Amino acid sequence: MVRTFKISVLCLLFSLGATAKSIHYTLSMSEPHTHLFEVEMRLDGSGAKETVALPVWTPGSYLVREYAKNVQDVSAHSEDGSRLEIKKIDKNHWEIKGKRGKDIIVSYKVYAFEHSVRTSYLNSEHALVVPASVLMYWQKNQQRTHKLHIEIPDTWSTITTALEPFNKPGNVDFTARDYDELVDSPLEIGNQHVIEFEVLGKPHVIGLYGASNYDDSTLVSDFSKIMEAEAKIFGGLPYEHYTYILHAEEGRGGLEHANSSVNFISRWSFNDEKRYKSLLALIAHEFFHTWNVKRIVPEGVANFDYDQENYLDELWMAEGFTSYYDELILQRIGHVDQDAYLEVLKDEINTLESRPGRFHQSVAEASYDAWIKYYRSNEHSKNSTISYYNKGHLIGLLLDIKIIAATNGNAGLDDVMLKLYRDFALKDKGYTSDNVRQVCEKISGLNLSSFFNNYVFGVEPLPYDEVFDLAGLKMDTTSEKSAWIGAIMRVQNGRLMITGIVEDSPAWKAGLSVKDELISIDGFRSRRSPPVYLGEKVPGDRIICTVSRNGILKDIHLTVGFTPASISELRQVVTPSEDQKVVYEKWLGVPWEKEKE
């Protein structure tokens, strides 16, 4: 009965607003335990033939996910009640024969049971709606106002979303300026805990799903510090309100939107120091995207094509610089001290330097190929690819220090970000990697052509020593020279399997292979990873690995090598020059001399 009543009220609204040419959705979840959303989509004033489609991807996550694979029971009828012919014309488009001037109503269901920040999820407890995966668009009419009416189960009470009207308890009717805004506004529906707060005079809300040990005031205090520190870079908050959707359950991941973000964290992230830092870094990351990617937009995604890949080579900036800032901001707000921060950078350097892929793929290429490589890694990916998060982070770090040094501490990467915001975001223009170089050059007075050619578009080793020296920093390398063969192993079903081979390692050269089962070394049975016997060897020793390859035993002779060197510490030099102190202090905003305990 309740449902019928709602529909008749809605029909009245439709007829009153018929001249407004909107697209109206009714999203229901009458049996949430089945994981099926029910969607009705009304096309006002449609013509004789119309096409609707579901995107193949969602902005911010660069992989074709084929959301249409979860669509079922598609049908269409006219506003006069007659059934209309609807035909699928490719994997994600449907064509409808309508009656000129009469509204078409398209109905379908979507199965939603993949729990991630970029897929929709529905169960008996709650729903996460990622609009690109549930709400079709009306081809050629994406610019219209999109209205969304939601029918929620009786036992649920709350919808958390950035859609208008903002944070109105009990409201079930929302409006988006156009389809892009609708796609950019995920919704959490259920009985989530709602925390309201203000930052710099603007309203914010956290919708937190998942039983956990959080403390509202700590979250508000730490989130606010992060947001204020980031707003300071850009001269204020660029929106009227902001929404956090937080799932405290399992996994870690986030997805940015213009006025909101979806963040998944593990349930017990709030008391454990390391996990809580990881949560704050995630929040700092997704919130930095409010500017970097959602407003400072790479040219390749300035206008979304929802039907295919949208290529861009700027993820080293969009994701990499965002990764640089997510850790730096925690240092700026005092959540981590300078030693802990240098430790983070050391780990970031080791991550890149332990990856042979750094000699094969530039960070610009890594960005362009995100669609087929980053989200589709395999056992060879370490040898052939890098992460634009990781290398982009380090390029942001090196550029920051170079710019600070070149300007005697008068400017840094913050100024680059602000100028990109003013010159591109505020002028509604997309940017390219060349634009980033030009802005860096303008701010620093440096010629950065070779820096960009070598490290952004090329695969030259990053100039750590030269740049760190400007800030009085030094890297120490490990002196340990232990035995190493370069085969990554894992015990699977009681068998010691080779799951990775490092390029140019002894294992690579000798011919060990992924999917080999390591049976023994020098005749001694191997059962653990790493094999205990290997620990008895020293670099230069000759060994015989017996493997089972496709069920046939094989002996492989190899010479044990050295564990590759890594950075053991990134530290301040003992006797800095005045220039080094200036750069360091401007970079981290703390005195060179650490405060004595």
Shortest CA distance to 300 belongs to which of 396, 391, 364, 234? 364
Site string for Zn ion, 555-594 (x = CB under 5 A): ----------------------------------------
Q: At its nearest, how many Å lie between Zn ion and the CB of residue 326?
A: 8
Place of tokens 């309740």: 2
Taking contact as CB under 5 A, which single stretch among the options 84-92, 114-122, 149-157, 317-325 is the one that binds Zn ion? 317-325
Residue 182 corresponds to which tokens in the numbers above? 């609708």
Buried-exposed string 296-327: b where 16+ CB fall within 10 A, e elsewhere: bbbbbbeebebbebbebbbbbbbbbbbbbbbb
Query: What is the number of the residue whose Cβ is closest to Zn ion?
Result: 319
Taking contact as CB under 5 A, which single stretch among the options 119-127, 311-319, 363-371, 487-495 is the one that binds Zn ion? 311-319
CB within 8 Å of 38: residues ≥ 6 apart = 27, 28, 29, 30, 107, 109
Q: At its nearest, how many Å lie between Zn ion and the CB of residue 285?
A: 5
Site for Zn ion, residues 5 to 64, rule: CB under 5 A: none
79 burial via Cβ count (<10 Å: 0-12, 13-18, 19+): buried
Taking contact as CB under 5 A, which single stretch among the options 16-24, 88-96, 313-321, 373-381 is the one that binds Zn ion? 313-321
Q: At its nearest, how many Å lie between Zn ion and the CB of residue 404?
A: 24
Q: At its nearest, how many Å lie between Zn ion and the CB of residue 279?
A: 15
| Closer residue to Zn ion (CB): 59 or 210 | 59
Q: Do the Cβ atoms of 498 and 487 come closer than 8 Å?
A: yes
Q: At its nearest, how many Å lie between Zn ion and the CB of residue 117?
A: 11
Place of tokens 């001269």: 235
Site string for Zn ion, 172-211 (x = CB under 5 A): ----------------------------------------
C-alpha to C-alpha distance for 475 and 466, rounded to whole angstroms: 11
Taking contact as CB under 5 A, which single stretch among the options 117-125, 137-145, 318-326, 472-480 is the one that binds Zn ion? 318-326
| Closer residue to Zn ion (CB): 109 or 118 | 118
| Closer residue to Zn ion (CB): 84 or 370 | 370
Q: At its nearest, how many Å lie between Zn ion and the CB of residue 261?
A: 10
Q: At its nearest, how many Å lie between Zn ion and the CB of residue 407?
A: 28
Residue 494 has phi, psi (to 5 degrees) of 80, 0
| Closer residue to Zn ion (CB): 319 or 365 | 319
Q: At its nearest, how many Å lie between Zn ion and the CB of residue 322?
A: 5
| Closer residue to Zn ion (CB): 223 or 287 | 287
C-alpha to C-alpha distance for 386 and 197, rounded to whole angstroms: 39
Residue 533 corresponds to which tokens in the numbers above? 């016997």
| Closer residue to Zn ion (CB): 321 or 584 | 321
What Å distances lie between residue 503 and 92, 359, 380, 487, 490, CA to CA?
40, 11, 9, 10, 18
Q: How many residues belong to the site for Zn ion (CB under 5 A)?
A: 1
CB within 8 Å of 567: residues ≥ 6 apart = 346, 349, 350, 353, 475, 476, 477, 478
Taking contact as CB under 5 A, which single stretch among the options 78-86, 272-280, 314-322, 582-590 is the one that binds Zn ion? 314-322
Residue 184 has phi, psi (to 5 degrees) of -85, 10
3-class SS shares of the chain: helix, strand, coil, % to 5: 35, 30, 40
List residues near Zn ion by CB under 5 A.
Answer: 319
